[in-house]
A and B are shown apart, each in its own frame.
Chain A
Amino acid sequence: MHPAPSVIVFTTLSGLGFGLLTWLGIGMPDVSGWVAFVFFAIAYALAVGGLLASTFHLGHPERAIKAFSQWRSSWLSREGVVSVAALLVMGLYALGRVFLDQNWAPIGWLGAALSLATVYCTSMIYAQLATVPRWKTILTPALFLSIAVGGGALLAGERDFAVILLPVAAVFQIIWWTRGDLAFEQSGSTLASATGLGEPGQVRAFEPPHTGTNYLLREFVFQVGRKHAIKLRIIAFVLGFALPVLLVLAPFAHALFAVAAICHLIGIAASRWLFFAEAEHVVGLYYGKR
């Protein structure tokens, strides 16, 4: 799949932002006034920035409002509805925290649940697609949620939780990569099943329908990044999970939280780039490509 910058920025930033909002919603850290304002400002900047980035690749962003209508069937629509609900509820909760020194706990819990639900909906946009075997697994939401909660704990300054949850996310990441490498073969889709021509003999793509490229090849058959996949996985693993945990466990850890958070963000961006660049769509079979 083509790793469009808008979707990488979207899933990385909004995942982290809603992860932080989850922690703020359950009152961790227990802050108010200016300190709360800074925490909420960071969370909103990430969450809203990510959501805005996701509209950049649309053909008609001016019609984006229509995307709230099909929540009954579409995960993308659900994601839009739930994210706006999460932002509104958490906005109310933030008002209490920042200006009135109030902890409206039920609203906070509701906002936290909606924030997690937003990340789940984001992950299901990809996990629902049978056409991309690498994504079509319950491990995809597990990965997105564990990264959001772990990264959120890091940003919230909840060290005790971050040093447990980030390694958990790292384990999900490794399992997800390992399963993903075999997913296409195990999906059962081949050029023979795609064309129905496997019965008489061995099928080979002889000639594509056109001499140039097209939308399908640009969008679904992206092979450039795969040759650096191992290096990028190491970068994603070290920056996204290992280094942040080591940094926050170090002495003078408080000053290093910002560095840890930036490392984490870069690492997760690398992971998300691979999420798209390594994903193979079954339509590539028709072109004799993957």
Chain B
Amino acid sequence: MFKPELLAPAGCLSRLKTACLYGANALYLGGQRYGLRARADNFTEHELKEGVRFAHEHNVRIYVVLNAFLHDDDMDRLDEFCEFLESIGVDAVIASDLGVIRTIRRNCNLEVHLSTQASCLNRYGAQLWKRLGVSRIIVGRELSIEEAGRIKQESGVGVEMFLHGAMCMSYSGHCTISNFTAGRDANRGGCIQSCRFPYKQTRLETAGGMGVAEDNTLDNLGEEAHFMSSKDLFGSALLNEFFRYNIDSLKIEGRMKSALYLAVTCRTYRKLIDEIASGSLTERSVRDADEELLRTLNRGSCEGSLKGPAGRESVYEPFVKDDSKPDMRHILGTVLETTRDRILLQLKAPLELGNTLEFLPFRGESISWMVDSMRSIDDVELQSARQDSVISLPKTSELVDVAQFNVVRKSDTTHDDVL
């Protein structure tokens, strides 16, 4: 049976391992240049080699993003980088700019996926990009699943869609607010997220114009509101539709997100996709999955345009309480090592005796465990441990399946600095 690829972000080498182990089929990641996340760790060439090796050992494909709108000077040594990517076995590159695509095709045989930055929105656009050498299109987030399916059918090109995570409110690549107001090029990795700001607004009554007030000293701008901040995309309820329209790849957004976000989204979507493919999906799995996935979204959730054009409900108002949202769970740490009788955990949050932890195995149910004993790395018994320390937990019978790189969360915290 057809089964779409689950494509996850990898912001650094450790999160690449997390995503591989939690069930992604493919990962997208950036090198030190040419991508859209200037502040992300990104991968050095050495790490790219190591990442490809690790991913391929786990049958996971690697796609490298080269999707910034590059200027001439930015393209320096792009040809060499493409050759390098091909030499280490990268499976595809993601590009949005015709100049980049031509450079790739001139210097290597890497498969090229068209970034959503290029806003390919219709079947004729897909035909054109196919002619220019693109084998897969990450369609604009403005399209429905049915429309993406039609593009695939009528253009013969592979189609990838966003499934989960934060969204631009603008057509991708068509926002230059950062460029012109902050001197940082959003389309070369410097977005200041102006769409997340609150704006005061006043309506003008001069129909037929271009929104220019005659009086530039308006003092009646109304209340602040987040009119251009999008809720996060949440596509789990539509997974059957992705299958129905043969969408090749389902993408989780978030190269800057935490290991917990990756672990939860990958393992949960992995389970849902596998259950749909095997015909074993139950209402209970869907309900449980939704509860898990909603915990990963910070700005509310919506289906975007996956069913039809995104409407009023897709705009995020941060101060409007959403009662349907389950309590957030916060990352506690990552298992760095396990021995016969101990689990060594790097803490990302403080921990005390009596706290309840939740270990997330790569597959299967999470394991809750109340901390009744912990020791320092030097084997000193502890009552509490601070953030950014490494502690040792006893490998009790409940924790026997806990493995290296398992992510652990706290189930009884309430602070908001999450994911």
Chain A bound to chain B? no
Interface residues of A (CB under 8 A from B): none
Interface residues of B (CB under 8 A from A): none
